[in-house]
Amino acid sequence: MDLGLKGKVALVTAASRGLGRAIAEKLAEEGAHVAMCSRDENRIRLAAAEIAGKTGADVAAFEADVSKPEDINRVVRETADRWGRIDILLCNAGGPPGGTLESFDDAAWQKAFETNLLSVVRLIRAALPHMPRGGRILAIASSSVKQPIPGLILSNTMRAGVAGLMKTLAEELGPRGILVNTVCPGRIDTDRVRELDQAKAGMEGVPVEEVRRSFEAAIPLGRYGRPEEFARVVAFLASEANTYVTGSTLLIDGGMVKSL
């Protein structure tokens, strides 16, 4: 299937590794021009060079911290200056630390809010003037928007806020032909998930392999997902092949979440 992504301009945040990188690479494979950003300048430049070398796509790397409005405004402006527009915006950010209510003070809550929720607001607000009719906006949240994950109170709260924001924007931006969706990973085999598994193993005093097996037992497909599997779903939603899916909060979790 031709997804119609050739020549489209995509901005993918938190793209130096994990889901962000997998999405950037998939969009590049489909012929999109891709702007990638990360807080780590060396890592994002290396990732962009590897993707460009592998796909032959026009890929740009920017150092940017999405918790900082000045960085957001700069990376959006530089992307639009380079290619003239932004057709696809993929909002992503690293997850906040794990813990319970009494683990965190106001500063921790504020940091999680600015990194994981307000960043999405700022990115969309900055990108919209550069987005033509028919644009696509996606945000990565978490399966926790359907089933909160114990010990991740900051993430559970902010990801639910992202889903609410995106559902609202689907109605606001629909008349402009812009499709807005939230994609929610379950146990995808990324560094972030491995770190969470390791932390859980430490708290429970068991081998990390046991933690992983317990999660896999709860997944109907019996395994963790691969980043490229997640990226393929995102690429469809971002593409011209998707003409009528908007306002959706889509679980990509191998059937792990049991809610309807």
Beta bridge partners of 63: 38
What is the Cα–Cα distance from 15 to 19, expressed in whole angstroms?
7
Check whether residue 195 and residue 115 sit in a common domain. Answer: no
What is the Cα–Cα distance from 66 to 80, expressed in whole angstroms?
17
Assess if residue 250 is contained within a domain: no
Mean pLDDT, the chain, rounded, equals: 97
pLDDT digits (tens, 9 = 90+) for 87-135: 999 999 999 999 999 999 999 999 999 999 999 999 999 999 999 999 9
Its domain, for residue 176, covers 9-186+228-244
Check whether residue 232 and residue 217 sit in a common domain. Answer: no
Assess if residue 249 is contained within a domain: no
Check whether residue 211 and residue 144 sit in a common domain. Answer: no
Check whether residue 201 and residue 108 sit in a common domain. Answer: no
What DSSP designation does 225 have? B
What is the Cα–Cα distance from 256 to 140, expressed in whole angstroms?
17
Region 242-249 average pLDDT: 98
Check whether residue 41 and residue 160 sit in a common domain. Answer: yes
Return the amino acid letter for 140.
Answer: I
Check whether residue 169 and residue 235 sit in a common domain. Answer: yes
What is the Cα–Cα distance from 140 to 145, expressed in whole angstroms?
11
Check whether residue 152 and residue 104 sit in a common domain. Answer: yes
The pLDDT of residue 221: 98
- Give me the number of domains the chain comprises: 2
pLDDT digits (tens, 9 = 90+) for 12-49: 999 999 999 999 999 999 999 999 999 999 999 999 99
Sheet holding 249-252, edge to edge: 59-63, 33-38, 9-12, 88-91, 136-140, 179-185, 249-252
Check whether residue 163 and residue 233 sit in a common domain. Answer: yes
CA-based end-to-end distance of the chain: 30
